[in-house]
């Protein structure tokens, strides 16, 4: 696990993906399956989006490879009166049967995984006609190779690519169709972009990591962006 992911876990950052929950809601308004269809939150983090879906009465299942994140998600679900099962697992090895979910949601998770293996597993657990809803980092324009290396090393990204490359990978892996979702959002003061559930003890090095993250985003803001897509099995 990268120092960045470890920092997110200890700080209990919810909505760490671009735009946070407000953007997730905008995307899901356009891409979510009909109510009642089973959804897998693949890399649920602190469970922020899963809880939102749970309140909409979707049957939600969560998976994350970080036990601390799952612990914080379970705490959230209990506080909000939700029963949402959570499993400790990696995207590359999902502990579910084939054709089980109508939708799989990935919010800034695929970028940290072995992409081909993760997409293969997601296809396996999706029902025929099911969809992958993704919110992932994407380059806005070509980035110098040394900068790409710096970003990958700091965050633990396995891939950093633009929208065209995302679509190519999805189709090459076996999805029948992949479309991008133009889901603009406004940052509502009543709904912060991120929230935190701090662990009792956080060492200074993790505050340093948080500071480094903000500095990198500032330095490379002209290159770093995000995309939202829906890909159908």
- pLDDT tens for 187-227 read 443 455 578 899 999 999 999 999 999 999 999 999 999 99
Structure confidence by residue, pLDDT tens digits, 21-46: 989 999 999 999 998 999 999 999 99
Cβ contact 230:179 at 8 Å: yes
Task: For residues 62 and 86, give the distance between their C-alpha atoms in angstroms, rounded to a whole number.
Answer: 5
What's the alpha-carbon Rg for the chain, to the nearest Å? 17
Q: DSSP secondary-structure letter at 222? A: T
Question: pLDDT class for 183, splitting at 50, 70, 90?
Answer: low
Task: For residues 83 and 74, give the distance between their C-alpha atoms in angstroms, rounded to a whole number.
Answer: 9
Nearest alpha carbon to residue 77 among 45, 108, 100, 122: 45
Give the pTM: 0.93
pLDDT of residue 229: 97
List the helix and strand counts (H, then E) for the chain: 8, 7
Question: pLDDT class for 184, splitting at 50, 70, 90?
Answer: low
pLDDT at 138 over 50: yes
What CATH fold (topology level) applies to the domain 16-142+157-193+223-232?
Rossmann fold (3.40.50)
172 burial (CB, 10 Å; 0-12 / 13-18 / 19+) is exposed
Domain boundaries, the chain: 16-142+157-193+223-232
pLDDT of residue 107: 96
């Amino acid at each position: 696990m990268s120092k960045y992911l470890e920092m997110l876990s200890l700080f209990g950052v919810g909505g760490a993906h671009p735009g946070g929950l407000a953007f997730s809601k905008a995307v899901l308004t356009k891409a979510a399956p009909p109510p009642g269809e089973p959804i897998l939150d693949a890399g649920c983090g602190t469970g922020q989006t899963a809880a939102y879906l749970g309140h909409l009465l979707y049957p939600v299942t969560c998976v994350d490879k970080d036990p601390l994140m799952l612990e914080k998600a379970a705490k959230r679900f209990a506080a909000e009166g939700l029963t949402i099962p959570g499993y400790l697992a990696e995207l590359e090895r999902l502990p579910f049967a084939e054709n089980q979910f109508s939708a799989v949601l990935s919010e800034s998770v695929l970028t940290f995984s072995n992409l081909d293996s993760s997409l293969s597993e997601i296809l396996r657990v999706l029902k025929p006609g099911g969809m992958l809803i993704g919110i992932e980092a994407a380059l806005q324009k070509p980035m110098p190779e040394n900068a790409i290396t710096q970003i990958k090393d700091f965050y633990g990204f396995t891939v950093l690519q633009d929208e065209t490359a995302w679509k190519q990978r999805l189709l090459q892996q076996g999805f029948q169709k992949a479309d991008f979702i133009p889901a603009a959002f406004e940052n509502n003061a009543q709904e912060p972009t991120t929230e935190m559930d701090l662990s009792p003890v956080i060492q200074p090095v993790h505050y340093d990591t948080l500071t480094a993250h903000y500095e990198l985003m500032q330095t490379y803001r002209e290159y770093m962006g995000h995309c939202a897509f829906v890909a159908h099995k």
